[in-house]
């Protein structure tokens, strides 16, 4: 046996995407329609009897979420998995966690695996924090004795001592995430698989979690597989990384190299219409409100110092109070550098009191972002804490130089530049020494 703790050989995963065929999708006569429906019905019935998955439409398309993926992971290493949305990262983690089987290929894993693909899997809103710790721990594979032993540590880590006997439905989303991560962080598996679960939660807690994960691998010799969109976290935490792209391993090596190459190829989107509806959400939120799309009403690429405009469509399934909708720009390391949200209109609170589709328009007089490529986040929350919907890094947008210089500038490596006044003076002779250049 080599020192590999995980060996992945030629792993492929195929999904069947079903839809109505495009040609001849319309029925010409009633008789034809009946005939086709009867046909479909018979086929489904036969599939059902044989226990095969039935196909809903009459056209099936194959979709390979992973194709011939091979890699090895050594014991005690932390490996980052990166790639754009839809690259197959989540599918890979699901196969490694034995949630879904591969279509082809083989994986050898030495030791116990615990996976954290969602914070608080199985959490029940009616149960108290205490009860949920035991429930969630058992789901993640801890024994009740282990949980009892670590109970105080978990509660302290989550910082929820005072609320531990309160139903979690009364928790803020921050507390919810903290408690859930605390349980997972105290697992003692040989291999820990973590999907991007830290994107929610406040920065201080995120840091604490990352510290814990680092600890787990360095001190206790555990192996960690970690998916994130945040490249600075990947670089800080993981010595090595794997870059997936459309189901293929594009590159693997040291995190520094892989991240560098990945960032160099991320192509900004030129589409004025950005569909949000179908983008897979990282976290299961209450389904009361869903972002549908973002449409730019200005030229692309965006220009530094010039106006940007757009509209965001969303669908309300329930009524929500104090709704705030916004967009955010993150640098490609994954750190948010600029946010625009409806809340910035002071004293204005939006209550969505009618269900159905709505839209909100935004306009910015001068875009302060310096020319570069940014990742766009679209989000929606209610009041301060409650996230309603969140689509991070949905596309990359490019900002190019414009004709005007805005009063505020946000730069990648020097932060925010704001107007301020400066006076020059010649200390030898008095009076100004420098003649200001006319711009």
Partner 1 sequence: MKELTIIEAGRQERHYWRELWRYRELFQVLAWRDLSVRYRQTAIGAIWALIRPFLTMVVFTVVFGHIAQLPSEGSAPYALMVFAGLLPWAFFAGGLAEASNSLVQNASLINKVYIPWLIVPTATVIVTLVDFLISFVILLALLLWYQFLPGWRLLLLPAFVILTFAISLGPALWLTSLNVRYRDFRYVIPFVIQLGLYVSPVGFSSAIVPADWRLLYSVNPMVGVIDGFRWCILGGQLYLPGLAMSLGVTLFFLWLGIRQFRRMEKSFADLI
The whole-angstrom separation of Cα 280 and Cα 316 is: 18
Give the closest residue to 224 by CA, choosing from 188, 191, 189, 258: 191
131 vs 256 by CB, closer to partner 1: 131
8 vs 367 by CB, closer to partner 1: 8
Positions that interact with partner 1 (CB under 8 A): 15, 48, 51, 53-54, 94-113, 115, 117-118, 121-122, 124, 126-127, 131, 134-135, 138-141, 143-144, 190, 284
Q: How far is the CB of 150 from partner 1 (least distance, A)?
A: 15
Q: How far is the CB of 5 from partner 1 (least distance, A)?
A: 8
Q: Kindly report the CA angle at 69 between 63 and 71, in degrees rounded to 5?
A: 160
Using DSSP, state whether 144 is helix, strand or coil.
helix
Q: How far is the CB of 169 from partner 1 (least distance, A)?
A: 10
* 13 neighbors 65 (Cβ within 8 angstroms): yes
102 vs 288 by CB, closer to partner 1: 102
Token pair for residue 427? 């200390």
Q: How far is the CB of 187 from partner 1 (least distance, A)?
A: 12
201 vs 305 by CB, closer to partner 1: 201
96 vs 316 by CB, closer to partner 1: 96
The whole-angstrom separation of Cα 93 and Cα 392 is: 19
Distance from the Cα of residue 334 to its chain's centroid: 10
194 vs 259 by CB, closer to partner 1: 194
CA distances to 74, 185, 391, 394 from 92, rounded to whole Å, are: 17, 21, 21, 20
Q: How far is the CB of 58 from partner 1 (least distance, A)?
A: 18
Q: How far is the CB of 47 from partner 1 (least distance, A)?
A: 10
The whole-angstrom separation of Cα 200 and Cα 188 is: 23
Q: How far is the CB of 289 from partner 1 (least distance, A)?
A: 20
The whole-angstrom separation of Cα 56 and Cα 405 is: 55
Q: Which residues contact 195 (CB under 8 A, 6 or more apart)?
A: 89, 90, 93, 115, 116, 117, 118, 227, 282
* 89 neighbors 117 (Cβ within 8 angstroms): no
258 vs 282 by CB, closer to partner 1: 282
């Amino acid at each position: 046996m080599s020192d590999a703790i995980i060996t992945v050989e030629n792993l492929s995963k195929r999904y069947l995407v079903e839809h109505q065929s495009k040609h001849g999708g319309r029925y010409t006569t009633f008789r034809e329609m009946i005939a086709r429906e009867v046909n479909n019905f018979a086929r489904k019935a036969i599939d059902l009897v044989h226990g095969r998955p039935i196909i809903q439409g009459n056209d099936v398309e194959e979709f390979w979420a992973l194709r011939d993926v091979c890699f090895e992971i050594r014991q005690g290493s932390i490996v980052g998995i990166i790639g754009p949305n839809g690259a197959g990262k989540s599918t890979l983690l699901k196969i490694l966690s034995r949630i879904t089987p591969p279509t082809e290929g083989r994986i050898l894993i030495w030791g116990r695996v615990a996976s954290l693909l969602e914070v608080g899997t199985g959490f029940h809103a009616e149960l108290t924090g205490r009860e949920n710790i035991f429930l969630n721990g058992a789901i993640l594979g801890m024994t009740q004795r282990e949980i009892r032993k670590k109970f105080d540590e978990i509660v302290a880590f989550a910082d929820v001592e005072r609320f531990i006997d309160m139903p979690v439905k009364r928790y803020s989303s921050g507390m919810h995430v903290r408690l859930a991560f605390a349980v997972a962080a105290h697992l003692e598996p040989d291999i820990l698989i973590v999907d991007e679960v830290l994107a929610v939660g406040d920065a201080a807690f995120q840091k604490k979690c990352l510290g814990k994960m680092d600890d787990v691998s360095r001190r206790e010799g555990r192996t960690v597989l970690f998916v994130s969109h945040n490249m600075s976290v990947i670089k800080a935490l993981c010595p090595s990384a794997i870059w997936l792209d459309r189901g293929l391993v594009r590159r693997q090596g040291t995190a520094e190299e892989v991240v560098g190459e990945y960032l160099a190829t991320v192509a900004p989107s030129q589409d004025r219409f950005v569909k949000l509806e179908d983008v897979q959400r990282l976290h299961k939120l209450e389904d009361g409100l869903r972002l549908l799309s973002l449409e730019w009403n200005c030229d692309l690429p965006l220009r530094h110092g010039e106006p940007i405009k757009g509209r965001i469509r969303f669908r309300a399934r329930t009524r929500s109070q104090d709704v705030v909708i916004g967009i955010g720009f993150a640098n490609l390391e994954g750190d948010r550098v600029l946010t625009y949200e409806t809340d910035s209109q002071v004293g204005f609170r939006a209550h969505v009191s009618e269900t159905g589709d709505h839209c909100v328009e935004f306009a910015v007089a001068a875009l302060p972002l310096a020319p570069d490529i940014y990742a766009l986040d679209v989000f929606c929350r209610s009041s301060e804490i409650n996230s309603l919907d969140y689509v991070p890094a949905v596309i990359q947008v490019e900002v190019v130089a414009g004709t005007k210089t805005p009063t505020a500038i946000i730069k990648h490596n020097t932060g925010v530049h704001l107007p301020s006044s400066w006076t020059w003076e010649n200390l030898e002779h008095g009076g100004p020494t420098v003649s200001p250049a006319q711009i």
